[in-house]
Structure 1
Amino acid sequence: MDWIKREVGNGLQGLIALRLRNAPAEDMIELTADIWVESFAQRVSIEVLDAPRIREGFRLIFGRIREWPAPIDVIELMPNRPPRPALPEPEVNDCDPRVRELIRDLGARLGW
């Protein structure tokens, strides 16, 4: 969760630097950051995939707002994760014809 704190903290620093309307008071920044981290932690889990998405969400919101946003405003701007690589087609070898038919039937049920 340290990486989430780091990414959200960097984004919040940017928001603070913008001096937006309705920004939290100085004495509330730590509590605000904790709530933001919890909000993001519910939606991200893999640093290598999600850290760039968090950065992009903050980057996109910086030029769009005049007032302090809610966490969901940034989360909704985060791009989707890249698609997972597809598995290779299964190899079919010379097996018993009954097994081949079973595989074909299962493949049809699974939409192959």
Structure 2
Amino acid sequence: MGEQWLKKTLASGVSMLILLRLRNAPPEDAVAGTLQAWLKVLTYKRSWEQELDQVRFEKAFMRLAETCDHFPTPKQLLDVMPKRVQKELPERVLTPEQIERNAKKWAEIKAQLGGFRCNHKHASR
């Protein structure tokens, strides 16, 4: 279920490469098996997120289409895949209650440290 987007993306990319008539492209009767093999290799010990990875797959297939004379392997796809764009953390918005609680904690810490003095002695030369 969660791999449907990946299956469609692979089918689209592999189909494009086959249509380019690259050397060693699989014959028509082996396309389904080729797609299954690619999916198995690309999901072995890896997980993909559509939001982060679909565009990466699409760009990698375009890069292969631009540069390959022979039908590529899944490894070649991974080698040309752009780096993942990391999700940004949402800006943290504190509620008025959290702000007040944090201010009280800081006041307590300052009060505890208020009488603390560092008795660091400098060695004279």
1:1-112 to 2 correspondences below 5 Å: 1-42=3-44, 43-86=46-89, 92-95=102-105, 96-97=108-109
**Aligned-residue offset at 1:59:** 0.7
Percent of residue pairs identical: 26
Q: CA deviation at 1:76?
A: 1.6
TM-score (norm 2): 0.68
Unmatched tracts of structure 1, length 5 or more: 102-112
Contact 1:15 1:62 in 2 (8 A): yes
Q: SS in structure 2 opposite 1:79? A: coil
Give the distance between the partners of 1:93 and 1:80, measured in 2 at CA: 41
CA shift digits 1:33-75 (9 cap, x unpaired): 1011122224442111111111010011111110011011011
Q: TM-score, normalised by structure 1?
A: 0.75
Deviating above 4 A after TM superposition, structure 1's stretches of 4 or more consecutive aligned residues are 86-92
Q: Which has the larger radius of gyration?
A: 2
User: Where does the alignment leave 5 or more consecutive residues of structure 2 unmatched?
Assistant: 114-125
What RMSD over aligned residues (CA atoms) do the two structures have, in Å?
Answer: 2.5
Separation in structure 1 between the aligned mates of residue 43 and residue 50 of structure 2, nearest angstrom: 11
Alignment: residue pair count: 100
> Which residue type is aligned with residue 77 of structure 2?
V
